[in-house]
Structure 1
């Protein structure tokens, strides 16, 4: 990573900030992006990075971000598509607007960034690295939140397609898929917080460490929680048994939600 030009979206807090910090420590020149302009500039100042606040999900926002990054770095060698949102505990009652917001940020932001970057990486023959921060929810499922589960599956699926299509042509693609991480998203998870932390809630720095460690063998799936690999295998080996177990977990969450509502009355 020494002297590589790197962009990290959603870098104002949590995993994005930890990835940017680690990239700087590894010798990369970094541009940080976040919708929270104040947080974005604060992290940039702390790291000696370039701040590029704005919406990385929209077409215009991606173009603006990459224009700033190209001006600061000369070339983007690594793009960490880390920004992601969760509109909360929602199932079939979730409205179209919430679905659209999550699809835009959790899936289309990756598509738009790759659309802008990959042709240049191929044209100059130097390739690049596209890193998606997805979630274990993108490999398994997310109890309680249909939009989050579906969009994170979409993020992993897009990363897989990108790797299949361009991996032999110099474009390295990775998907980081943690379970519970000590971020604002976990703090706001309500009854799901205990479930997401059952295999220990990692720090954002531990997630960044896992990603850097994955570069040694350049593996596609980065699993900061090793248990996720076992769950993923179990799901593939016997999907019906897996679904039965997940329904049991869903029942536990339902009871926890009901108990919480009773306490608030």
Structure 2
């Protein structure tokens, strides 16, 4: 994928990984269409990039809104980054909790793909980036909705790659563990024991990386046409252990959970 002078649309670009992705794609020469529901954060990202000379269009956009996705893709885009995500409720959650997390963490990807795949098939090129999580390959202690929605996001990205790869369309799926973002800070600062359990599992599993590290690896993967981005290299070994002996892996996760509770 030639990123220079391409058009890259990014959801959730007002902070965290989304902002870092915007900066990294801009540095690679892309023109940007940025969306977020956080107007102040989005404006800060756009102003920062405009000051460097980057071409930026910023739109108030809810990733779970089909109309807002259509607005972000009104101009033909070459790369779409489905980055917006929510942590959701701890435990099993309510019906409304499940509707919200699936709407943002999964259905937003589906809505974007419905718009983009026919366009990209006609052009013979395009690249879809799904920012998922290592929780989509392993699991997330404390938060069923997050674990399940991220598994679904990974599965959907795999399906896109298989279904549209022969049409010249690339897919990249990004699966980090802990990243230094406002989302992680929020759950680390929570007074809810169930939320803190999930937060402690994230920081206890490995190093907390910068959003810039994740963004740089993602841009490189898009450029090279690679599917899976594992910013925490140990996730590959964790996943191999899970596949090799699922019961042993579950037992190990239960031990890890007990240690966090203890």
What secondary structure does 1:241 align onto? helix
Q: 1:50: Cα distance to partner? A: 1.0
Counterpart for residue 78 of structure 1 = 79
User: What pairs with 1:44-63 in structure 2 (closer than 5 Å)?
Assistant: 44-48=46-50, 49-63=56-70
Backbone CA RMSD of aligned residues: 1.3
- State which of 221, 226, 230 in structure 2 corresponds to 1:219: 226
Supply the distance in 2 between the matched residues of 1:64 and 1:78 (Cα, whole angstroms). Answer: 15
Judge conservation of contact 1:37–1:54 (CA < 8 Å) in 2. no
Q: TM-score, normalised by structure 1?
A: 0.89
1:205 partnered with 2:204:
no
Higher RCO (CA 8 Å, separation ≥ 6 residues): 2
Deviation (angstroms), 1:64:
2.3
Aligned length: 246
How do residues 79-118 of structure 1 correspond to structure 2 at under 5 angstroms?
Answer: 79-88=80-89, 90-92=90-92, 94-118=93-117
State the Cα distance separating 1:192 from its structure 2 match: 3.2
Give the drift of 1:66: 1.9
1:8 alignment counterpart: 10
The farther-off stretch of 5-14 and 41-50 is: 41-50
Match of 1:26 in 2: 28
Provide the C-alpha distance between the structure 2 equivalents of 1:168 and 1:26, rounded to a whole number of angstroms: 26
Partner of 1:172: 170
- List per-residue Cα deviations over 1:119-177 (Å, max 9, x = no partner): 0110122x100000000000000000000000000100000000010012111001100
Extract structure 1 runs of 4+ deviating beyond 4 A: none
Are the aligned partners of 1:6 and 1:78 in contact in 2 as well (CA < 8 Å)? yes
- What is the rounded CA distance, in whole Å, between the counterparts of 2:245 and 2:225 in structure 1? 29
Match of 2:197 in 1: 191
- 2:259 and 2:60 mapped to 1: Cα distance? 40
Contact 2:61 2:68 in 1 (8 A): yes
Structure 2 segments unaligned to the other structure (5+ residues): 51-55, 188-195
1:135 counterpart residue number: 133
Give distance in 1, aligned partners of 2:141 and 2:62. 28
- The answer as to whether partners of 2:128 and 2:172 remain within 8 angstroms in 1 is yes
| Equivalent residues of 1:41, 1:53 under 8 A apart | no
Distance 2:226 2:7 in 1: 21
Distance (Å, rounded) in 1 between the aligned partners of 2:21 and 2:31: 12
What is the CA-CA distance between 1:217 and the residue it aligns to?
A: 4.2
Q: TM-score, normalised by structure 2?
A: 0.90
